[in-house]
Amino acid sequence: MPRGRYSLHDPHDHSPLGDETFHCATGPSGWRYVSQLTTPSGGPAGSVDLAIDDLGRPIRLQLQSADWQVRGAALEGVTWVRTDQTGEHATEGNVRAHAFSGASPAFYVAVSRLLRLTPGGPATRLRLVSFTAPVLAPLTVDQSWALVARTAHPTDNGVLDVDEYQVSALDTGEQYAVHLAGDVVLSAPGVELEDLESPPSVFG
């Protein structure tokens, strides 16, 4: 069960946004990721709890950030409830989308499991609902994902496959690379893997 820490920063001006301390695990029914977020000064900034089934569909999402929280799942597309701490401003949403997205590295792993792309194969389009801290406002985004290459790297624990994805934002044309090893993000815009206590899990 991988445990580690990501540092998060603004992908444009590289200002630090804090850290995300995580653990995740695969199982016969899918994959689960749990993390705690801290500010650059070390204070609490929220949490992520994401579970996907064996096909990569989000069966439970719980996000907390500042005074807001989101609970969601795959239901007639994706469905969620966003509320403040008092519960007075709860709103429900539903979009014919494939999955959720956001700043957490967990979402890159979840999308890769959903798509199951072939190295060098064609790109795949998908629609995501993204939640952005600190208020977790939902935004529907369209992206294109392609698995550019899969490279084997020898390690002390055997060979580790690293996948390089090219992700394109279809509304702006912006492109960026995401590198994954199993269920761990090695690098992505705004994300750096700082510590990893155990090897990534390998999906079947």
Q: How far apart are CA 22 and CA 130, in angstroms?
A: 20
Residue 153's pLDDT band (cuts 50, 70, 90): confident
Tell me the average pLDDT across 164-180. 96
Q: How far is CA 160 from CA 115, 147, 181, 183, in A?
A: 20, 16, 7, 12
Q: How far apart are CA 75 and CA 97, in angstroms?
A: 10
pLDDT single digits (tens) 95-152: 999 999 999 999 999 999 999 999 999 999 999 999 988 899 999 999 999 999 999 9
pLDDT single digits (tens) 52-77: 999 999 999 999 998 899 999 999 99
User: Would you state the pLDDT for residue 86?
Assistant: 81
pLDDT at 38 exceeding the cut of 90:
yes
Task: Dig out the tokens for 65 from the structure.
Answer: 């950030």
The predicted model scores a pTM of 0.95
Q: Is residue 48 packed enough to be buried (19+ CB in 10 Å), middle (13-18) or exposed (0-12)?
A: buried
User: Would you state the pLDDT for residue 23?
Assistant: 97
Question: Long-range pairs for 66-75 at CB < 8 Å and ≥24 separation?
Answer: 66/133, 66/134, 66/135, 68/134, 68/135, 68/136, 69/136, 70/131, 70/136, 70/138, 72/100, 72/129, 74/99
Q: Which helix (H) or strand (E) holds 106?
A: helix 106-115
User: Would you state the pLDDT for residue 128?
Assistant: 98
Output DSSP code: residue 107.
H
pLDDT single digits (tens) 89-100: 899 999 999 999
